[in-house]
Amino acid sequence: MSEDHRLYSALPALISGQCGNESGREHAAVIQTTLDGVAKSKLRTISIASDGESRRGESLIHLTFKKHLEYSSPIYPLLSTLPLMNLEVGDDNITADKDYKHIFKRCRNLLLRDRGTKVHGVDILPSMLQSQLQQNEIPTSQVNNLLKPDDKQDVKLAYDLLSHIWALPSLASEDPSARPGFTETREALRTLGKLFMNILLPYVCVELTLSEQLTMLSTAAHMLLAMAHEDKAGTKLMPSQLYIDLMIMIKNAYFCVAKAKVDDPIGKFFLILLGTNRLEDIFGILQTMVGNDTTLDLLQLILRLGGTTEVSAILANHPEWDRSPRRLKLPTVSKDGMAIHKDVDHIKPSAWKGNVYVAKVNLQTCWMRGRQKVKEIPRLDEVLKKIEAENHPNSFVNMLQPFGADIVRAARSAEDYDDTAEDYDEGLGQEADTDTLPPQVIDTELEDAAMEEAEVKRHDPCFESDGTKVWKSRYLSDCFKDLKNPGSRDRLKLYANVSRYAIKKDSRRDIIESDLSDGLQGPSIKMDFPIATLLKCEGRLFICIGETNSITFDSKQVDSLSVDLLSEPSVFVSFQMLHLVPATVEDSADLKHDWKWSLSRGTTHRVQGCLVEPINPDISIQQVGKPFYLLESTLLRSLGTLLLGRLTREQANNIPQVKRSTYFPYREESGTQHRKSNIY
């Protein structure tokens, strides 16, 4: 932990080849060998960092979640007073860490996944995010670039998208009469933006003090815990692995500062030196040393690794010679959000302006200030108050046990897969694209047999395969095409035929400027607007009022679509159910409306466009900043009859099924519900 660039360069100690099939426990044995070797020197291992790779993450769990922090430990008094802090450690109180740049990228990937994320009960899909950014006067071309899923490893792109989200203004104060659904989505995005801001700024805002950095991380931890509990979002908020990695990163920051206060009470602590920055510096140097071969094998690594230390020393003496990798550029920003340097690579300790002396830091104060910051978001504050009221000394609830049970070592369900990881390939396990399949292996004796049977041609340029004549040159070209034009610059991915960005060509989301939404004539269906459709519950059909969060036409997402096109078989509409409750006199003074939206939402479903009918209900603005829809029973019955009348047998089989709940099917005050033509 030094400001001198020459002192904190990576020093490789062990090289271990792997086939990719070893388990996390087997990988932990390799890491433990390194730790045992370091233990015999005068150096002490404080934490072990990982970039988020699954097997490596599993190995770190085996090494750093062995026991509870002992009472006799000198750091116990500093950490035991932090409510909801997880105190599990490994030998010598070692903890795991996750590289913050990889966390940034995965936060962006969270917003790009097809199933979206759930905040304040709102299912936020990429199409909704696109609509919100465009409404904030961000050019469509820039929005398309921010949301493109091709490159999941661009740190600067991740920062740009996340910073745009936390900069979204509130619609509740600017436009009280804004569409209810759009306003609810905006507030959910603003909460998500505050979470991202408290995760990113501690690592890029060079004016922050160490106390301010820890306070922001504490705010992020408390927000994460509350957001996972709110409406029982759980894995609908984010995959468990991303939640765990975020909490591990925050936990490690507090543990490392606590150790620094004990070991070097008058020293400095640079949060940006945690993670895998220095190791990636070494990898960048190695890539330039290999030459034309962009990948790196084990022998090349062994032969050239010693020289990287010399190169690091040279670049430390002459930083002007260093050229940062394109993917790792990350701006340093000031407290007001202004970029100070736009072309920096890894932010160096010498660039940090805030006070980072550990003697000026009180961990308990930083942690509690972070908790107080959550009070600015009343919905999350109420959730935390409930957790704190139910939490007692014998309770097991903490940042890594949000529901009282261990989620770090727990088995994952089939639905709880981490599609935010940079190496996640949604095409794996599915039918592969024929263009990416490796050439069929041909019997080596086939060519010899063909030559023997040839009458005159001694050097036949072709051979037969399954009765088909194949050119030898073309066959050899196909065999070695991955070496000439590698789809990935990672050697393991190259030979596994995994694309460079770990995403299939035909799975790319095309976010476009739709010509269909320009100059629409007549009625249309739009994003964030209410619709009526049918849902099946216990074998019966009921009307459902929802709000559109995605419109797909010919496999392309659009913001709006004419109702004349809804009957096309290529049109699909995704919506989130709105919970309706009986209206009161306070809601509708003229007693015209007897139903209202309760401001709560249900599950998200996707149906054919022919099963959807756009509606334009009245909006109540009696509660400032919380508009809601008002509806009539006659309208609901008419809509139900209309949808039921156009329903075919085939379409009826495709209607989503839902379970009975408190809010659906919609019930009158007497608890009765109507079916068939009188559908509620």
Whether the predicted pLDDT of 491 surpasses 70: no
Rounded Cα distance between 605 and 598, Å, is: 19
Dihedral sign from CA coordinates of 221, 224, 230, 233 = negative
Q: Who wins on pLDDT, 667 or 202?
A: 202
What's the confidence (pLDDT) of residue 675? 44
Q: State the average pLDDT over residues 134-163.
A: 85
What's the confidence (pLDDT) of residue 257? 95
**Which amino acid type is present at position 511?**
I
What's the confidence (pLDDT) of residue 9? 66
Per residue in 77-95, pLDDT tens? 999 999 999 999 999 899 9
Q: Who wins on pLDDT, 4 or 388?
A: 388
Rounded Cα distance between 510 and 148, Å, is: 8
Per residue in 419-470, pLDDT tens? 887 666 554 433 333 333 334 433 444 444 444 444 444 567 788 877 777 7
From the number of C-beta atoms within 10 Å of its C-beta (0-12, 13-18, 19+), residue 665 rates as buried
Judged by average pLDDT, the poorest of 53-57, 119-123, 168-172 is 53-57
Q: State the average pLDDT over residues 363-392.
A: 91
Total Cβ atoms within 10 A of residue 519: 6
Q: Is the pTM of this model over 0.75?
A: yes
- Report residue 239's pLDDT band, with 50, 70 and 90 as the boundaries: very high
For residue 607, give both structure tokens.
Answer: 């149906």
What's the confidence (pLDDT) of residue 647? 86
The segment with the largest mean pLDDT, out of 5-9, 545-549, 563-567, 620-624, is 545-549
Angle at 54 between CA 9 and CA 405, to 5 degrees: 115
Judged by average pLDDT, the poorest of 67-81, 229-243, 583-597, 633-647 is 583-597
Rounded Cα distance between 556 and 625, Å, is: 33
Total Cβ atoms within 10 A of residue 295: 17
The segment with the largest mean pLDDT, out of 25-34, 238-247, 386-395, is 238-247
Rounded Cα distance between 405 and 31, Å, is: 28
What's the confidence (pLDDT) of residue 135? 87
Rounded Cα distance between 64 and 53, Å, is: 16
Judged by average pLDDT, the poorest of 217-231, 364-378, 413-427 is 413-427
Whether the predicted pLDDT of 187 surpasses 80: yes
Backbone angle region of 218, left / alpha / beta, with phi > 0 → left and psi within -120 to 50 → alpha: alpha
Rounded Cα distance between 87 and 70, Å, is: 9
Q: How far is CA 468 from CA 452, 464, 471, 479, in A?
A: 18, 5, 10, 17
Mode of pairing for the β-strands spanning 47-50 and 95-98: parallel
Backbone angle region of 234, left / alpha / beta, with phi > 0 → left and psi within -120 to 50 → alpha: left
From the number of C-beta atoms within 10 Å of its C-beta (0-12, 13-18, 19+), residue 656 rates as middle
Whether the predicted pLDDT of 112 surpasses 60: yes
- Report residue 357's pLDDT band, with 50, 70 and 90 as the boundaries: very high
Q: State the average pLDDT over residues 673-680.
A: 43
Q: Is 347 helix (H, G, I), strand (E, B) or coil?
A: coil
pLDDT more than 90, % of the chain: 30
Rounded Cα distance between 353 and 208, Å, is: 7
Whether the predicted pLDDT of 676 surpasses 70: no
Per residue in 599-614, pLDDT tens? 889 999 999 998 999 9
- Report residue 5's pLDDT band, with 50, 70 and 90 as the boundaries: low
Judged by average pLDDT, the poorest of 32-36, 295-299, 542-546, 605-609 is 295-299
Per residue in 302-323, pLDDT tens? 777 777 767 766 766 776 676 6
What's the confidence (pLDDT) of residue 435? 36
Rounded Cα distance between 573 and 607, Å, is: 6
- Per-chain mean pLDDT for the chain: 79
What's the confidence (pLDDT) of residue 502? 45
